[in-house]
Amino acid sequence: MGRFIIEGGNRVSGEVTPSGNKNEALPTLAACLLTEETVVLDNLPRIRDVLVMCEVLRDLGAGVEWTGPNQASITASQVNKSVLDRELCGRVRASVLFAGPVMARLGEVELPPPGGDVIGRRKLDTHFTAFQSLGAQLEVGESYRLHASRLEGAEMFLDEASVTGTENALMAAVLACGTTVIENAACEPHVQGLCRMLESMGARISGIGTNILTVTGVDRLHGTTHRIGPDYLEVGSFIGLAGIMGDGLVIHDVIPRDLRKIRTVFDKLGVGIELSGTDCLVKGGQAPAIRTDLHGVVPQIDDAPWPQFPTDLMSIAIVTATRSKGTVLFFEKMYEGRMFFVDSLISMGASIILCDPHRVVVAGPSNLFGATLRSPDIRAGMALLIACLAASGRSVMHNIEQIDRGYERIDDKLKAIGARIERVEGPA
């Protein structure tokens, strides 16, 4: 078990480049099972969740070779196993993404319950309802068993705009017989990235970037080379850090259209950014102040499916607000456990009221002080790390393996821009 030792209060500046999008990397790895030919993935983040997904691929019989620091070659010509390993699936939530490709490839799949962050209920009903629409039969026990002698295209309306549910439905539909229409589909950048990869493999998909996807099934898919897009959640994390502790930070390799709502929210928190091509500049010396609504009304920041503000950046925005002048209400609508990390911020000196599992009020600016903390999940862990970097004094953060699941070499990137952070391995 590792931990971070952080000396807070140091300003950050310089340049940083985000890694590939974790939430695009995971479904594209699963999609490699849809062809017997080789698929090469570029800009693949070498993070814990990706490494576990690669282990699952190998366990199913696929060959996985790292051909560069962030490039992998996957060949699934020998896949003949439809039962997923229980221990491996328990280590990563995204293991559910193998259900669609394995069933499309072999006609059946047995999926143990997936693992993942404890941030609230994350139901799987949307996935299985989609599979049943395509003609699959479901048995529920200690594992989920799906069988389909033949998948048939269908019209379906997802009961929620689930990202992984949409991705699973897509991966099952591309090899189904006939046309599939997926309404209320998720349209996040990583869903679009998966669609573009599937198209490059020979799939026929229209409506990419909208909430209605039409898939015309094909007989087979072929190999391809696909580049994972930049992680806009990592970009948002660096924007939050630079807004409260920055002396000028340039974030390279961003996609401006992915930052539209993110930019709006940070502007409301008093953090201004400038976009130039694929560069994002967070100017130094900012004194963030909450921008009130008309007539001085306390503003509200809430999350919602894309293109609204992503739930995975709520914790980063809350930490940013602790250092901004003014009061703001945060309304987390998607997960009932995501807000509980604010207890750690309160222990560091933040002025926060937890109204209920979904809402917090933050009044700032607060002087934060170093503390000994544990990372509860990927996103809250990164948010608390930013709080430690902004705090006065020394902090120790345990359970950093959670952060490593979603952020590649985050300590090295932070040190390169002036943060004082050290990784210590072994027991405390």
d(CA 411, CA 407): 9
> Residues with catalytic annotation?
117
d(CA 378, CA 193): 22
Sign of CA dihedral 385, 255, 278, 26: positive
Q: What confidence score (pLDDT) does residue 93 get?
A: 86
Residues contacting 257, CB < 8 A, separation 6+: none
Quick count: other Cβ atoms within 10 Å of Cβ 143?
Answer: 15
pLDDT at 223 over 80: yes
pLDDT at 108 over 80: yes
Topology (CATH) of 22-227: UDP-n-acetylglucosamine1-carboxyvinyl-transferase; Chain (3.65.10)
Tokens of 57: 């691929």
Average pLDDT along the chain: 95
- What average pLDDT does the segment 177-199 reach? 98
402-427 tens-digit pLDDT: 999 999 999 999 999 999 999 998 77
Domain ranges of the chain: 3-19+230-424, 22-227
372-403 tens-digit pLDDT: 999 999 999 999 999 999 999 999 999 999 99
In this prediction, residue 310 has a pLDDT band, given cuts at 50, 70 and 90, of very high
Q: What confidence score (pLDDT) does residue 116 get?
A: 53
Q: Contact at 8 Å (CB) between 187 and 212?
A: no
Q: Contact at 8 Å (CB) between 217 and 177?
A: yes
231-265 tens-digit pLDDT: 999 999 999 999 999 999 999 999 999 999 999 99
Residue type, 77: S
- What average pLDDT does the segment 164-174 reach? 97
- What average pLDDT does the segment 92-117 reach? 88
Q: What confidence score (pLDDT) does residue 426 get?
A: 79
Same fold, 3-19+230-424 and 22-227: yes
- What average pLDDT does the segment 186-209 reach? 98
pLDDT at 8 over 90: yes
- What average pLDDT does the segment 106-117 reach? 82
Percent of the chain with pLDDT over 70: 98
251 phi, psi to nearest 5 deg: -105, 115
CATH class as words, domain 3-19+230-424:
alpha beta
Q: What confidence score (pLDDT) does residue 122 get?
A: 56
pLDDT at 175 over 50: yes
Task: Encode the chain in three state secondary structure.
Answer: CCEEEEECCCCEEEEECCCECHHHHHHHHHHHHHCCCEEEEECCCCCHHHHHHHHHHHHCCCEEEEEECCEEEEECCCCCCCECCHHHHCCCHHHHHHHHHHHHHHCEEEECCCCCCCCCCCCCHHHHHHHHHCCCEEEECCCEEEECCCCECCEEECCCCCHHHHHHHHHHHCCCECEEEEECCCCCHHHHHHHHHHHHCCCEEECCCCCEEEEECCCCCCCEEEECCECHHHHHHHHHHHHHHEEEEEECCCCHHHHHHHHHHHHHCCCCEEEECCEEEECCCCCCECCCCHHHCCCEEECCCCCCCCHHHHHHHHHHHHCCEEEEEEECCCCCCHHHHHHHHHHCCCEEEEEECCEEEEEECCCCECCEEECCCHHHHHHHHHHHHHCECEEEEECCHHHHCCCCCHHHHHHHCCCEEEEECCCC
In this prediction, residue 120 has a pLDDT band, given cuts at 50, 70 and 90, of very low
Residues contacting 294, CB < 8 A, separation 6+: none
Q: Contact at 8 Å (CB) between 155 and 131?
A: no
Residue 248: left if φ>0, alpha if ψ -120 to 50, beta else—which one? left
